[in-house]
Amino acid sequence: AWRSTIVLPAHAASWTEERRQVVLLHELAHVRRRDLLGQQLGRLACAVYWFHPLVWSAARRLRAESERACDDLVLACGARASDYAGHLLDILTAARGLGAPATVLPMARAKEFEGRLLAILDPGRRRRGPGRRQSAALLAALAAIFLVVAAAAPSSPPSSHATPSPSLSVASDRAELASPAQAAPPARATRPRARPQPDEPEEGKREDARAEAEDESAPAPPPPTSEAERDRRGMLVRALRSDTDAGVRRSAAWALGESVRAGESPILVAALRGDADAGVREMAAWALARDRSEDVTAALAQALRKDASAHVRATAAWALGQRRRADSAALVAAIADAELDVRVAAIWALGNQRVEAAPAELIAALRDQQPRIRVLVAWALTEINDPASVPALRTAFGKEQDPEVRRAIFRALACLGDRSPEVLDRAAAAKDPELRSRAVLMLGGLGPGIWPWPWPWPQPRPMP
């Protein structure tokens, strides 16, 4: 704490001169303020009073306020607020993508980082800290309060202890049991849909249907209740609508997407359809993934069909995959997209749709030149569970040379219930030991065993 060392990540050599300057100013502000010593004292207090939740809350608040104070010092030195916010967002993105050390994790929490961004971009915020006189007055006031509290004599305990009446306690318990409406029922957590394995009983399918029904009826986030919360959401909406800096608009869309409230979806839809920056449109598509309204679904389908940016189209397809019933025609058309990432996201989204039959374009993609596409098509056909796709899968299995794709196609055939001697004989004679072991089990009258797919997600969400 007395001889501090500033440590920068390895890729800091590629930073611009401006970014290095603001980062060093921020870290030197921590050194000047002795924040490391204050945080160590906070950790010590948490270790001593580990059982007290207010101590942990105070330590988190201390850390957040120290970050904001250093941000104010950087801005007071002449840094532009929007540029500084953009640098922080880029650094956070790199930290999350490459694996950040424990000291960076508090900075990456969405709620704390959102408040920090709002403080940076607030033009009315006072950036100067208290002067020496104000600090001395504050210390004197704290000392006076401490002396008063220390000098206060505790009152003597009463001579007779009043005990609650047993009849009153029983009556109170009965009153609580008689009025269950006063206690809110526990929220039912939504579960991701998982296709039953080949050996899974019929109960797994019924459980899957119940999970899907719960997912379809997920309630929307409640509207902001406090005045301060409404002001924060209003600031984010204004930034997304009218800020001249694309990085600020992208950050605002990301912050709104953490929990889209009533009335904010049209703002995000307008950004998706009309913003000039592709990064803002991509973030708006991600933010709309949880909104299952028809207007939002139509806007995402339009972006998938017509947007000039491949990143926007891929994210729109990913967002459509978050709902069970979307615009399947747009997803089918995207199978022929020129960009690999768009095709991957569209095929994955089709696998999450509740369609009655596998589209012919999806089955034809078993002949795609990219092995990654063929593996993903096998998974999507398994999820759609259309028996009409079995002949095409058999043909593809007989011609496929890539080992990973062959395993995926055989897994799809096993999940669809195909036990044809033609397929099993080829699998038993394959060079792949996993295929041979599964085929031998099936030739012996058993199922292939529990055989989960290795991945459920084609791409992560975009970060600001």
Would you mind telling me the total number of residues written for the chain in this entry?
A: 464
Q: How many CB atoms lie within 10 A of CB 335?
A: 19
List of E strands, 314-370: none
Answer positive or negative: Cα dihedral of 338, 341, 342, 345. positive
Question: Which stretches of the chain drop beneath a pLDDT of 50?
Answer: 102, 105, 159-197, 199-207, 210-211, 214-217
pLDDT at 353: 83
Q: Rounded to an integer, what distance in angstroms lies between the CA atom of residue 262 and that of residue 75?
A: 34
Query: What's the pTM value of the predicted model, to 2 decimals?
Result: 0.54
Q: Rounded to an integer, what distance in angstroms lies between the CA atom of residue 457 and that of residue 403?
A: 21
pLDDT at 270: 93
pLDDT at 303: 94
Q: With H, G, I as helix, E, B as strand and everything else as coil, classify residue 458.
A: coil
Structure tokens at 236: 């984010």
Burial class (CB in 10 A: 0-12, 13-18, 19+), 318: buried
| Residues 6+ away with beta carbon under 8 Å from 182 | 176
Q: Rounded to an integer, what distance in angstroms lies between the CA atom of residue 247 and that of residue 85?
A: 8
What is the biggest distance separating any 2 CA atoms in the chain, rounded to whole angstroms? 92
Q: Which helix (H) or strand (E) holds 460?
A: none
Nearest to 393 by CA among 402, 405, 404, 78: 405
